[in-house]
Each structure stands twice: as structure tokens, then as C-alpha cells.
Amino acid sequence: MEAILELRRITKKFASSGSEALRDIDLDVYSGEMLGLIGESGSGKTTLLRLIAGLESPTRGSIKLKDRLIVGDNTFVPPEKREIGMVFQEYALFPHMTVEQNVIYGLHKMEKTAARKRMFEVLEWVNLAELSNRYAHELSGGQQQRAALARALAPSPSIILLDEPFSNLDGVLKDQMREELHTILKTSGTTAVFVTHDTLDALSVADRLALLKDGQLQQIGNPKELYEKPGNLYTASFLGKINQIKGRCTHSGIVSDFGTFPVCQGLREGREVLIAIRPENISLQSRICTDLKGEIIHTSFQGDHLLVHLKPLVGESQNRIIFKMPSAYRIKIGEVVGFKIETENLIVFDADPSLGN
């Protein structure tokens, strides 16, 4: 695939704090893809977006857009000359302008007839053509977002940047806008980079994810890869609930307080490890005919499923396991149950992260 945007060794140090907000970031964005920048508050994702947009300058590193150097080697192309569209978190629509006027604002270099034709073209993409004469305050949150997207798309930018595009929307509207945004950008063939801290936004919309922590990239890959095969415990826990069970490798498997997990993955006998497994990859056994078992200590109703909490049968271990069950299932607190897992769903990490995975 062709990289439309290339970031190399991007580092940003703020003089006010003296700390590095980003450190040695290498990242490619491919033509036509939607890349999600994810991470906790303070991870550096918004800073990285602002560096791409030209709203900040890196301390070190280079950025190329369509093989054109826009940052680096004494080069800094200003934002308005980068052919980059930006949709801000608060949408930043001009309140004194209609939707039509907002969209056509960025087309002042085009001939008037061509500009109006382009304006209506992008309004059709975002399904706002019939609302072109409304002002921002007359639009719903989702309509304001689509108007801001239309304004960013109108000049045919090389890439669109979106800062927390769903953060101002309620749950139902957010679900709708995820689908609409994905459809609009794919239909128009637009390359996009968006920032979010919401894992569901990231998993459901992005073609690839780049997870940041403390200014460093943790892992890059498609959502399924990061969710099912995380490269470290931080990635695993950031993207959803995951059980972390302490164990020790033996010739027969990984021995834990819940029993022996039938996997060693060629690990050294006696090695202390953490077993990571998603709640949905654990299934209850109708009979206790498995070496893996625990006592039910708590259930949490989640609508379409229950979250069931288990503790080991012996000892004072703080190890706990959570797994999902159908809401209609009847269980009792204090009941002893067996469970099973598929070995391909297990991920094993060193108990001491300094040793590597």
C-alpha cells in the first residue's frame, strides 16, 4: 500500500513542562484508510494530530505528505498550505453563516459557479443539501458534525484530521454517526486520521489503530489484531476487559489458583507468568469436569449478558476471573462451577514486564 503520510522520529518537548509529550514516533498513513490514534488523556494523541495539522512544531523529526516534505530539515509548511482538512472537537462552525456559507468559505479560490457545484456535491455526501440554509444553532449535534465534515472535505484535501469526532454525541446518535462517518469517508475516498479515547469508536470505525502511552507508540495494527493479539498488557487492558491470572509454567501447563491451564507455549519451566484472556472467551461447564474451577462471588447485569465473577476455591489469592453469560441464566452466589477456555484465546506475558513478553 502507498503511504500518503509519513512521520519519522517525531518528538515533541514542551518548554513549560520540560517533558517529552511524544518520543520518536514512526508512523505511516496509507491512502484511503482511516487511522485511529487512541490512548488515555495525556498520551500524546492530540499533540500528534496538531503536529500533522501544523498547529504545533515538533522538537525533532520529519513529516512528509504525498512525498512532499512539510516538516523537517529547516522546513515548516504552514497549516493553510498543507492540503489538510481539520474537523475540530467543537466543530468550529461560523455561527453567523449558514451551512452553505460555512462550506463555501474554504472555496474562495475557486470560480464561483464551480465552488457552488462543489459545495452542493459535498452536502449531498453528508446528506445536508436540504438544510443548506440553516445556521449552526438550528442543527442537531450530528448535523453540525456533518456540516463541519463537509466544510473540511470541500477543498479536496489530501487528508482529513478529526479530533474526538464523537465525543459531543449521545449514545444512540454516536452509533449512527460512526456508521455515517465511515460511509462518507469511504465513499469520497478520503484518507483520515482521527483521535479518540473511546475504545468502541476506535474498534468500530478505524481500519488501523495506533495506541499511544506516555508519548510512545505501544502497538499499530488493525482493530481485531490489537484486541485479540495485544503486544503487551497495556494494549490488552486498554481495549476492553481482560482477565489477568498469575501462574507458573510446568511440564503439564500453567498452574494457577484456578487450576492448570493447558498451555506453555514453549516457556521455561518454573517461569512466573500472567495469563490474559477476554471474558467472552471463557465458557461455563455444566458439570465440574474440568481442572479449571472457581466460586461465584458476584454477578453484574449488563442487559444482554451477565458478568460473572469467580474467585479461587482455596487460599487467600486476590486472583479473580470475570466471564460473560446469557442474562437468562440462573446462577447462585457461592456456587462452585467449572469453566473452559480455548488455548488459542490465551495470551501469556511475563509476570515481570522488565523481562519482556
pLDDT per residue as tens digits for the range 192-234: 999 998 898 899 999 999 999 999 999 999 999 999 999 999 9
Contacts 24+ apart (CB under 8 A), 102-105: 102/136, 102/147, 102/148, 102/150, 102/151, 103/132, 103/147, 103/150, 103/151, 103/154, 104/154, 105/151
pLDDT in the model for residue 278: 95
d(CA 277, CA 272): 17
Task: Report domain extents, the chain.
Answer: 3-238, 243-355
CATH number of 3-238: 3.40.50.300
pTM for this entry: 0.88
CB-CB contact of 298 with 288 (8 Å): no
In the chain, the amino acid numbered 233 is: L
243-355 CATH fold: OB fold (Dihydrolipoamide Acetyltransferase, E2P) (2.40.50)
CB-CB contact of 248 with 272 (8 Å): yes
* pLDDT tens for each residue of the chain, 357 residues long: 789 999 999 999 998 777 899 999 999 999 999 999 999 999 999 999 999 999 999 999 999 999 999 999 899 999 999 999 999 888 788 899 999 999 998 898 889 999 999 999 999 989 899 999 999 999 988 899 889 999 999 999 999 999 988 887 776 778 888 888 899 899 889 999 999 988 988 999 999 999 999 999 999 999 999 999 999 999 999 999 999 999 999 988 899 999 999 876 677 888 899 999 999 999 887 666 568 999 999 999 988 889 999 999 987 778 899 999 888 888 889 999 999 888 888 899 987 654 444
d(CA 310, CA 263): 21
